[in-house]
Structure 1
Amino acid sequence: MQELLTVTENSNHQQVVSARELHRALELTTRFSKWVSQNFDEFVQNEDFSPVTAVTQQNQHGGTKAIQDYALTIGMAKELCLMSHTELGKTYRRYFIELERKWNDPAEIVKRGYAILQDENAQLKIENSKMKPKALFADAVAASSTTILIGDLAKILRGNGVSIGQNRLFQLLRDKHYLISRKGVSYNMPTQSAMDLGLFEIKETAITHSDGHVTINKTPKVTGKGQGYFINLFLERLPQSVDKSKA
């Protein structure tokens, strides 16, 4: 079938044509903007037609300018042809009817469905390839037996594309109930839920003062499992907080 107008496919996998091209093809004497205002009220925007920007040559030196256009569904284009009450309108309406017939042929539907699946699979592979290095890094860290300070975890996260510093990470861990937020001796210590998950260990250091008395300094450290957990958390692969009841 000879192509009378340029037919494209929109993001909803519908055939669409340019309103300006159709207006020109029908050889209408009404100005385009007036034709639109006179006829488009019968249709639904973003269902029958969608506003788009076209580019046209402005002068002989190659200058261009942006102009308003519309992407019309084939169904709307058919009706506009009928509303033109011209022989050209009948010709183009028959053309659109034939386009629809071919588009709705079962073999064509299967072909389009297969093409859509191929596109989706290709996009999924691209996304997985982007995520894979970070995921492998997180899994490797999770197997590590080395514990680190929360400030060091912030550095690891920054190295993996997460914009965060030590203070902001402490605040986030408190907000998400991984660290205790109540002021007092337990402030910034891991919550019971976080300890049950094996995300932290607490390092105790005995400090002997000049008068002979001894105090115990407690420092939360992130386990290898915790490091992998929080990297995955920032990659949005895990829930965003722990059980508040055990905080």
Structure 2
Amino acid sequence: MNQVIKVQENEQGEQQVSARELHKELGVKTRFSLWVEQNFKMFVKGVDFTSVVTTTVVNNGATRQIDDFNLTTDMAKNVAMMSKTTKSQEIRDYFIAVEKEWNSPELMMARSLNYANDRLIAYQKQHEIDMPKIEAFEHFIATGGAIGLRETAKEMQVKQTDLVDNLLNSKYIYRTQGRHGKLQPYTQYVPKYFVLKSGGTNSEGIEFLPSLRITPAGREFFYKKFFVPNQTELEV
């Protein structure tokens, strides 16, 4: 089939046509902006068409940006007939042929295979990215006992500041008031995720708060929640 107007596929696998190319091929005498205003009223933006910016070459050889629209082929064939030019019927028939070919069993199977292959490649790439994190996760889950924030961050192979910020922002811990406020867990997360090392009074008679420690269950939970929240699984 000869290509009358270029038909492209978007990321969702939908066929689309440039409104400017359609306007030109139809031989519409009305200027593009007025043609759009007259013919797009019955269609829904974001469903039947989307706004895009493209480029064109001007007389001095430079390029400038111009507004365009990507139309579904279904909208394009309707607009072709609404434009009522000598080529309207020919272009409508062309889009019908394009849709028929697009929906043939052979092309549908080819698209399905390409989609599955792309998913597999994406899964493999993500798995390679996640492997160091997964290995680190397996390491610290096997480690017993509650440990401090610094040791936890080192075990997770992340920055201590990132770990603390995540815990604070998600309201698992808080900072006590005062110039040297200490990090303390909210009581509902003790002793499942946190335990407290006993406080007391130092040699100068100054009381100090219990020190926060993160349990193995806490380390497992926070690592999954903050640092590997989207471990990829291949969908069948």
Instruction: In structure 2, give the amino acid aligned to 1:226.
Output: G
Contact in 1 for aligned 2:195/2:215 (Cα 8 Å): yes
Identity of aligned pairs, percent?
Answer: 29
How many residue pairs end up in the alignment? 224
**Bigger-Rg structure (1/2):** 1
Distance 1:127 1:76, change over 3 A: same
Deviation string, structure 1 residues 112-133 (Cα, Å, up to 9, x no partner): 2222222233223333332232
Contact 1:180–1:190 (Cα < 8 Å) also in 2: no
Runs of 4+ in 1 over 6 A off after TM superposition: 178-181, 205-208
Equivalent-residue separation in structure 2 for 1:170 and 1:47 (angstroms): 41
CA distance in 2, matches of 1:210, 1:113: 73
Q: Tell me which residue corresponds to 2:213.
A: 221
Does the 8 A contact of 1:150 with 1:170 survive in 2?
Answer: no
Cα deviation, residue 82, structure 1: 1.3
Q: What is the rounded CA distance, in whole Å, between the counterparts of 2:84 and 2:122 in structure 1?
A: 46
Output the amino acid matched with 2:8. Answer: T
Measured in 2, the distance between the counterparts of 1:60 and 1:208 equals 81
Aligned in 2, Cα 1:122/1:163: closer, same or farther, shift over 3 Å? farther
CA contact (8 A) 2:16 2:70 kept: yes
Q: Does residue 164 in structure 1 map to residue 158 in structure 2?
A: no
Are 1:188 and 2:184 an aligned pair?
yes
- Secondary structure at the residue paired with 2:87? helix
Q: Residues 157-178 of structure 1: CA distance to partner in whole angstroms, max 9, x if unpaired?
A: 6x52685375x466457x23x6
Counterpart amino acid of residue 82 in structure 1: M
Q: Matched residues in 2 for 1:210 and 1:97: separation?
A: 88
Q: CA deviation at 1:81?
A: 1.7
CA distance in 2, matches of 1:134, 1:147: 20
Segments of 5+ residues of structure 1 without an aligned counterpart are: 182-186, 239-247
CA shift, 1:105, in A, is 1.5
Give the partner amino acid of 1:37. Answer: E
1:190 and 1:220 in contact (8 A); partners too: no
Structure 1 residues 145-156: aligned runs within 5 Å: 145=144, 147-153=146-152
Q: Distance in 2 between matches of 1:200 and 1:140?
A: 19
AA partner of residue 69 (structure 1): D
Partner residue, 1:72: 71
When residues 229 and 139 of structure 1 are mapped into structure 2, their CA distance, relative to the original with a 3 A threshold, is farther
Per the TM alignment, residue 73 of structure 1 is displaced from its structure 2 partner at its CA by 1.0
The whole-number CA distance in structure 1 between the counterparts of 2:169 and 2:75 is 52
Residue 45 (structure 1) aligned with residue 41 (structure 2): no
2:3 & 2:159 partners in 1: Cα distance? 49
CA RMSD, aligned part only? 3.5
TM-score (normalizing by structure 2): 0.77
CA distance in 2, matches of 1:82, 1:162: 64
The DSSP-based 3-state class of the residue aligned with 2:3 is coil
Q: Which amino acid aligns with 1:49?
A: F
Structure-to-structure mapping, 1:7-156, within 5 angstroms: 7-61=7-61, 63-145=62-144, 147-153=146-152
